[in-house]
Chain A
Amino acid sequence: QKEVEQNSGPLSVPEGAIASLNCTYSDRGSQSFFWYRQYSGKSPELIMFIYSNGDKEDGRFTAQLNKASQYVSLLIRDSQPSDSATYLCGKDSSASKIIFGSGTRLSIRP
């Protein structure tokens, strides 16, 4: 089992709808979780991080963490074409490592 699992997609969502990206992880000891966005040919950039159970909101983005279910998600409200990218879910590991999933490709269709 991979340490961080994501559906590779592509996930196609109509403009203005809510995009829901999901991630599961295998290590119950993980404390912090990260969502990075990566446009094609560009470097990953941090969208959100979360370390407490529940929801964390930042503008159109909401991260949700459920440690009991070992599940973290990212919701994007009012999806825009500019949200089309690959979203990488990551979790902390020992000695400052971030272990990333393979990413979910999101496509927002006009």
Chain B
Amino acid sequence: DTAVSQTPKYLVTQMGNDKSIKCEQNLGHDTMYWYKQDSKKFLKIMFSYNNKELIINETVPNRFSPKSPDKAHLNLHINSLELGDSAVYFCASSQGTSQETQYFGPGTRLLVL
């Protein structure tokens, strides 16, 4: 059974479009995250939710809007896509919020043309 799943796996779109990525975890975890990994493999936290509440909001353009309808789901909506948004976006989850192991989803490869 997949622990952390993301859809879609690949996303190719034009500049200026709006797109969403979905994430679901079946681990019963309370905390979920979005990370961005650029072409140089640098993995950077974007957002984190604990029990549907936003707890981490890094310096990310406000074109990115996360939403957590329940603690098993965390979605990411991106408005007005730009070339620099091209990256792999990983969802992750952990049981709690301190010193916890995080489990990553398979990633969504976004290419903005």
| A residues lining the B interface (CB < 8 Å) | 31-32, 34, 38, 42-46, 49, 51, 86, 88, 92, 95-100, 102-103
Q: In the complex, A100 Cα to B16 Cα: how many Å? A: 30
Report A64 CB to chain B, min CB distance, Å: 18
Q: In the complex, A38 Cα to B105 Cα: how many Å? A: 12
Contact check, B41 vs A97: say whether CB atoms are below 8 A apart: no
- Residues of B near A51 (CB, < 8 A) are 99
Task: Mark each residue of chain B from 21 to 55: 1 if its CB lies under 8 Å from any CB of chain A, else 0.
Answer: 00000000001000000001111110010100001
Decide yes or no: A86 and B41 within 8 Å by CB, A49-B101, A92-B98, A95-B55 being known contacts: yes
Chain A: which residue is nearest B31 at the CB level?
A96
Q: In the complex, A95 Cα to B8 Cα: how many Å? A: 28
Report B24 CB to chain A, min CB distance, Å: 15
Contact check, B99 vs A92: say whether CB atoms are below 8 A apart: yes
Report B44 CB to chain A, min CB distance, Å: 7
Q: Which of A46, A96, A103 contacts B56 (CB 8 A)?
A: A96
CB-based A-B contact count at 8 angstroms: 55
Contact check, A44 vs B104: say whether CB atoms are below 8 A apart: yes
Task: Give the size range of B's interface with the partner.
Answer: 20 to 34
Can you name 27 A-B pairs with beta carbons within 8 Å? A34-B101, A42-B106, A43-B90, A43-B105, A43-B106, A43-B107, A44-B90, A45-B104, A49-B99, A51-B99, A88-B41, A88-B43, A92-B98, A95-B48, A95-B55, A95-B56, A95-B97, A96-B48, A96-B55, A96-B56, A96-B94, A96-B100, A98-B45, A100-B42, A102-B40, A103-B41, A103-B43
Chain B: which residue is nearest A92 at the CB level?
B99
B79 within 8 A of A: no
- Residues of A near B100 (CB, < 8 A) are 96
Chain A: which residue is nearest B41 at the CB level?
A103
- Residues of A near B98 (CB, < 8 A) are 92, 96
Chain A: which residue is nearest B99 at the CB level?
A32
Q: Which of B31, B43, B101, B107 contacts A46 (CB 8 A)?
A: B101
- Among B43, B45, B90, B102, max chain A CB count under 10 A is at B43
